């Protein structure tokens, strides 16, 4: 599942292509919205809220979520699509650009006043104007027995952290992702580090937590099962959990992140 910085960058690209222009074509390829036509309406802005995307018109909002496999592509009107047409779920076009949402996990069109029904449950957004470190920590500590890695992924606590940043910030602070929240004495620093990493990476496609942008050198532990830890040489471990198992793989170094 894309991280909050990836969604933020997607929102910026949608905003640049669509905002300030009237829609000349809309095509919603999901059954419940098949008859919706927003042609002639101006797009005011697209913003991210955690991992959710909100494309705002004067009275309506097009809400999308990438989930595990979704993506938005921006094309010139005459350009061919790089993904198969059968994977397209939404097309929003103006006189210059067409934005195509492929394999989107969620698509809704709601009154702008009803946006809260889709994103009101989210905690403070690490890249949003509502960010509050204190409020995020307060939400995390509401369940002190919950494993910290699991708590960081819960978007009701703070919005924007996915599996990659969960693994990387826990490694950087030397915290086992299985440690109960109530026993993590660096919780504010953990959350602050996550925000700093998202801010660092939000303007680029290739995420790094090591500071090295070379292929294979960008991350400390994420997706490095069995490879040696960059600090101590211990083999990185991985544990799958949850219904969507690939989404919930936890990576950690058992030496640098001992369980307490």
Distance CA 62, CA 70 (A): 15
**For residue 125, what is the DSSP state?**
B
Backbone phi and psi for residue 75, each to the nearest 5 degrees, phi listed first: -130, 150
* pLDDT at residue number 242: 56
Considering the four listed CATH numbers 3.40.50.300, 3.30.920.30, 3.40.570.10, 1.10.8.50, the one that applies to the domain covering 133-252 is 1.10.8.50
* pLDDT at residue number 233: 98
Sequence-ordered list of residues with C-beta below 8 angstroms from that of 100, at least 6 positions apart, any chain: 72, 73, 75, 81, 83, 88, 90, 91
* pLDDT at residue number 136: 98
Backbone phi and psi for residue 5, each to the nearest 5 degrees, phi listed first: -70, -35
Is residue 83's pLDDT more than 90?
A: yes
Distance CA 239, CA 253 (A): 12
**What is the dihedral angle through the alpha carbons of 13, 190, 230, 220, rounded to the nearest 10 degrees?**
-20
* pLDDT at residue number 172: 98
Considering the four listed CATH numbers 3.90.380.10, 3.90.1640.20, 3.90.950.20, 3.20.190.10, the one that applies to the domain covering 4-119 is 3.20.190.10
Average pLDDT over all residues of the chain: 95
User: Which part of the chain has CATH 3.20.190.10?
Assistant: 4-119
Give the position of tokens 């910030």: 169
- DSSP-derived secondary structure for 197-216: HHHHHTTSSS--SSS--STT
The stretch 138-146 carries a mean pLDDT of: 98
The pTM for the full model equals 0.93
**Predicted confidence (pLDDT) per residue in 15-53, tens digit:** 999 999 999 999 999 999 999 999 999 999 999 999 999
Share of the chain above pLDDT 90, in %: 94
The stretch 7-22 carries a mean pLDDT of: 98
Q: Has 3 been annotated as catalytic? A: yes
- Binned at pLDDT 50, 70 and 90, residue 9 comes out as very high
Q: Has 248 been annotated as catalytic? A: yes
User: Which part of the chain has CATH 1.10.8.50?
Assistant: 133-252
* pLDDT at residue number 246: 46
Single out the catalytic residue among 51, 193, 202, 224.
51
Q: Which of 83, 66, 65 lies closest to 74, judged by CA?
A: 83
Single out the catalytic residue among 13, 29, 230, 248.
248
Single out the catalytic residue among 2, 124, 147, 177.
2
């Amino acid at each position: 599942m894309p991280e909050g910085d990836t969604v933020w960058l997607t929102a910026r690209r949608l905003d640049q292509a669509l905002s300030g222009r009237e829609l000349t074509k809309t095509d919603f390829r999901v059954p419940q919205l098949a008859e919706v036509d927003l042609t002639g309406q101006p797009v005011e802005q697209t913003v991210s809220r955690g991992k959710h995307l909100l494309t705002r018109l004067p009275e309506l909002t097009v809400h999308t979520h990438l989930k595990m496999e979704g993506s938005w592509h921006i094309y010139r009107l005459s350009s061919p699509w790089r993904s198969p047409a059968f994977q397209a779920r939404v097309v929003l076009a103006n006189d210059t650009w067409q934005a195509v949402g492929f394999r989107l996990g969620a698509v809704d069109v709601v009154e702008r006043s009803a946006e809260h029904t889709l994103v009101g449950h989210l905690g403070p957004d690490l890249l949003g104007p509502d960010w509050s470190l204190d409020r995020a920590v307060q939400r995390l500590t509401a369940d002190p027995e919950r494993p910290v890695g699991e708590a960081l992924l819960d978007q009701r606590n703070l919005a924007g952290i996915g599996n990659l940043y969960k693994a990387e910030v826990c490694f950087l602070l030397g915290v086992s992702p299985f440690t109960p929240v109530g026993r993590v004495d660096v919780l504010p620093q953990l959350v602050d580090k996550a925000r700093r990493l998202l801010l660092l990476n939000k303007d680029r496609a290739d995420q790094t937590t090591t500071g090295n942008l070379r292929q294979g050198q960008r991350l400390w532990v994420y997706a490095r099962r069995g490879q040696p830890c960059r600090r101590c040489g211990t083999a990185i471990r991985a544990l799958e959990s949850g219904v969507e198992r690939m989404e919930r793989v936890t990576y950690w170094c058992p030496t640098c992140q001992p369980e307490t």
